[in-house]
Structure formats: structure tokens, C-alpha cells
Amino acid sequence: MSTYFIGDIHGCYNELQLLLSQVKFNPNTDQLWLTGDLVARGPHSLEVLCFLQRLGKCVKLVLGNHDLHLLAIYAGKRRNKPKDLLNKLLASNKIESLIDWLRCQPLVQIDEARKIIMSHAGITPQWDIQTVRMCANEIESMLSSNSYQLFLYAMYGDLPNYWSPQLTGIARLRFSTNALTRMRYCLPSGELDMTSKELPDRVAPSLQPWFRMPRNISNEYTIIFGHWAALAGGWVPKGVIALDTGCCWGGCLTMLRWEDKEMFVQPALNLE
């Protein structure tokens, strides 16, 4: 059995299939971990979701900000933008089943035996492992509940940007969602900066990538994330792995085999 981690797919179905064929992926014996942002910006979001849904229990994924945005569009809380290339997915007769399946997916995956934590954007340095689990579970419970549309409407916004155990209600859920699906930089105080997207050598000295801040999670854990395509897999310290390499932007789709840490890449086909 092998365990494979793949960065943001963003509807790049053909590249996903070519990448899996490089290692002769076997869903009966192998595991596939995905860093989120399964949909949007690439041409085949429908095919990606249908494929992953069919794979069943061998897939361990987390939701990204684009996946949450799809849920909000379907719920009528946000507008479908042409650049997201979601029309085919939204018009499909499978959309209801796929949305229900997505709503039941987690925002964090934790493997205690191998000391792995995976989320879409990373783990805010303010959280310990217990808080990670708690905050992710709160969002997951809301998404799978009958009140999920209220959450999808209220999750947008950059505030609050600092964690406190005293946060409650939608403010608490919004911070947790931003930390797990949108975060890149922190201020020295630990506040999240939700505006800067440049590479670390091009931002104000007061800003630090979340993964360079002192963290409250044991260094035993490896944190695996996607979201930040501009990093192209670089810039991160030991114990942190960045897997989004911008396939939908003309880069490549990147996969890590956990057992021997070998990397595999599939360049964007640019055929669409």
C-alpha cells in the first residue's frame, strides 16, 4: 500500500489521471490524500468530483476555499463567475449528489500514527492540536447540518483575524474557516493578514508566512497544505510540505508518495 498526497486539482481532471497513472495508483490498496480546491479555474470540475466520489474510502480530502465557494454558489449565496468554469458542473444532473457529498467532507485530516496534519491553507500558529480538531469539527458539523446555508452566507469576510477561545457563533466559524482555507500571512501579534498574496521576499518585513511563526503543535507532526500556488512547493521549513504548484495556471500538478517522499509531477496540458 502507498499513500499519495496531491496538491490543488482545480478541475484539472486529465492531469490528475496522468499523474495517477505514473504510479499505477490502485484504489483497492492505495490511499489518496488531497489538499482541497478540487474545483474551479480548470475545465473539468464535474469529472474531478465524480471520479473522487466513485473512489470512495481510499480518498482523504479536505475542503478548500473554492470548494466552499461552490457550495455557496449552489445555495444561492454567491454569484457564479465565468472565470471559475463551473457552468457544466452546476448544470449536471449529478450536482445535488455531489454537493451533498462535498458538504460531508472535512476541513482537516489528521493521521496520529504517522503524525500528519493536512488542511487546505495550513494551521494557524495560535492553535494546538486539540483546537485544530475542535474548530474543524465545528465547521464540519455546520456544513452537514440543515443550517449550512446560513453559514455559507456568513462565512465571507476577513474579521475577526485573531483567535480567542472566547469567540462564538459565526465570528468563531469565520475565523476558523479563514485559517483553514484562506490564510497565508500573520502579523507579529499572530493576527491573520488576509490581503497579502505575494511571495515572502516581496511583502512588508512585519509579515511572516504562517509556517514561519512559532507554532503550538509538536514538531513531530508534518503539516501538508495547498492553496498557495505562488510558493511552487518552496519557501517552507522542515516539517511543512506545500503541494499547490498551480496546474490550473499553467504550472503542474504535484504528488508526494509518503513512504519514500518521492515527488511526481504532471505539467499542465493547456489543451482546453
Domain range list for the chain:
3-267
Average of pLDDT values for 195-204?
Answer: 94
Q: Please, which pLDDT band fits residue 183 given cuts at 50, 70 and 90?
A: very high
The pLDDT tens digits for 52-70 are 999 999 999 999 999 999 9
Average of pLDDT values for 11-18?
Answer: 98
Please report, to the nearest 10 degrees, the dihedral formed by the alpha carbons of residues 119, 124, 129, 133 taken in order. -50
Q: Please, which pLDDT band fits residue 271 given cuts at 50, 70 and 90?
A: low
Average of pLDDT values for 180-191?
Answer: 96
Supply 254's cell numbers.
504535484
> Which pLDDT does position 256 carry in this prediction?
98
Q: Please, which pLDDT band fits residue 199 given cuts at 50, 70 and 90?
A: very high
Q: Pairing state of beta strands 31-34 and 59-61?
A: parallel
For the chain, the average pLDDT equals: 96
Distance separating alpha carbons of residues 181 and 204, to the nearest angstrom:
22
Give me the percent of the chain exceeding a pLDDT of 70.
Answer: 99
> Which pLDDT does position 20 carry in this prediction?
98
Distance separating alpha carbons of residues 73 and 83, to the nearest angstrom:
14
Distance separating alpha carbons of residues 225 and 62, to the nearest angstrom:
10
Average of pLDDT values for 94-113?
Answer: 98
Supply 191's cell numbers.
493576527
Is the peptide bond between 200 and the residue preceding it cis, with omega within 30 degrees of 0? no
> Which pLDDT does position 272 carry in this prediction?
45
> Which pLDDT does position 270 carry in this prediction?
72
Q: Which of 164, 160, 161, 163 is nearest to 184 (CA)?
A: 161
> Which pLDDT does position 27 carry in this prediction?
97
- Does 3-267 carry CATH code 3.60.21.10? yes
